[in-house]
């Protein structure tokens, strides 16, 4: 569909037995996905057993829990090894709808952008969709702070629904990033540093029991990591620190 480009969906999985099969089925229903890479981060439930039986899926199992960032590193590395031209990360907890896969792939496959985020903030329905008020408030404050320091205008930096071109992933030293949740933020800083435009598309989300979500204290840790990353970006731009990415 996109000049013979291979579309690979990656799923960083951890204790996702209740929603993995449903998410995978809807991903494949989009009819443009060539392969789903599922990386299990040492789950304690039946995630690996379910993943092993899914069609058009490649299962990778970590021998020990590496964390959300560590899981993504394996996801992207394996996707590139499998020859992906477009890589889309979809959480297997069914919080982000796979129905947006064709739209996100189109923006990259047709050469418009190299990175697309599914934004929960665009459209103004995040709170009505069930996002906790404290998470929404912190999202808005962090995004404002980061936009000021980065000179950007994203609606949010914290969505886990994102698509990348092969060209972009090959330029980003994502293996150097955190193994924890702040990985998501660090990779966007690296993309912005390289001068790529980050596109956004409105994404309805679901908040329900079984959907993955980090607790308050881990969210605080993540927020502090985002603040530190933005400040590091600004100091590097001013010449006080080394570049985030060597061109």
Q: Give residue-wise pLDDT tens across range 13-41.
A: 999 999 999 999 999 999 999 999 999 99
Q: Per the domain annotation, does 2 fall within a domain?
A: no
The larger pLDDT score, comparing residue 204 to residue 169, is at 169
Both structure tokens of 239: 């010449």
Q: Per the domain annotation, does 1 fall within a domain?
A: no
Total count of domains within the chain: 1
Q: Per the domain annotation, does 115 fall within a domain?
A: yes
Q: Per the domain annotation, does 171 fall within a domain?
A: yes
Q: Per the domain annotation, does 227 fall within a domain?
A: yes
Q: What is the pLDDT of residues 97-118, one digit of tens each?
A: 999 999 999 999 999 999 999 9
Q: Per the domain annotation, does 246 fall within a domain?
A: no
Q: Per the domain annotation, does 119 fall within a domain?
A: yes
Return the CATH number at 155.
3.90.550.10
Q: Minimum mean pLDDT among 97-106, 131-140, 158-167: which range?
A: 131-140
9 Cβ neighbours under 8 A, 6+ residues apart: 27, 33, 35, 36, 37, 87, 88, 89, 90, 98, 101
The domain containing residue 123 runs over which residues? 7-237
Q: Per the domain annotation, does 176 fall within a domain?
A: yes
Q: What is the pLDDT of residues 54-66, one digit of tens each?
A: 999 999 999 999 9
Q: What is the pTM of this model?
A: 0.94
For the cut 90, the answer to whether the pLDDT of residue 218 exceeds it is no
């Amino acid at each position: 569909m996109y000049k013979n480009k291979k579309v690979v969906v990656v799923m960083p999985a951890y204790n996702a037995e209740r929603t993995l099969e449903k998410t995978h089925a809807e991903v494949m229903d989009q009819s443009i996905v060539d392969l789903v890479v599922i990386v299990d981060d040492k789950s304690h439930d039946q995630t690996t057993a379910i993943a092993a039986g899914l069609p058009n899926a490649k299962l990778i199992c970590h021998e020990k829990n590496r964390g959300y960032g560590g899981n993504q590193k394996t996801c992207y590395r394996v996707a590139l090894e499998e020859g992906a031209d477009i890589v889309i990360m979809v959480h297997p907890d069914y919080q982000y709808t796979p129905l947006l896969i064709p739209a996100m792939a189109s923006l990259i496959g047709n050469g418009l952008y190299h990175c697309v985020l599914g934004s929960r903030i665009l459209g103004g329905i995040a709170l009505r969709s069930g996002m906790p008020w404290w998470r929404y408030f912190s999202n808005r404050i962090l995004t404002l702070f980061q936009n000021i320091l980065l000179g950007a205008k994203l609606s949010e930096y914290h969505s886990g629904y994102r698509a990348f071109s092969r060209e972009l992933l090959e330029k980003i030293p994502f293996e150097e990033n955190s193994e924890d949740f702040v990985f998501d933020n660090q990779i966007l800083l690296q993309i912005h540093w390289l001068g790529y435009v980050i596109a956004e598309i409105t994404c309805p989300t679901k908040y329900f029991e079984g959907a993955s979500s980090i607790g308050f204290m881990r969210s605080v840790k993540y927020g502090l990591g985002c603040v530190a990353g933005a400040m590091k970006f600004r100091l590097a731009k001013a010449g006080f620190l080394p570049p985030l990415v060597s061109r």
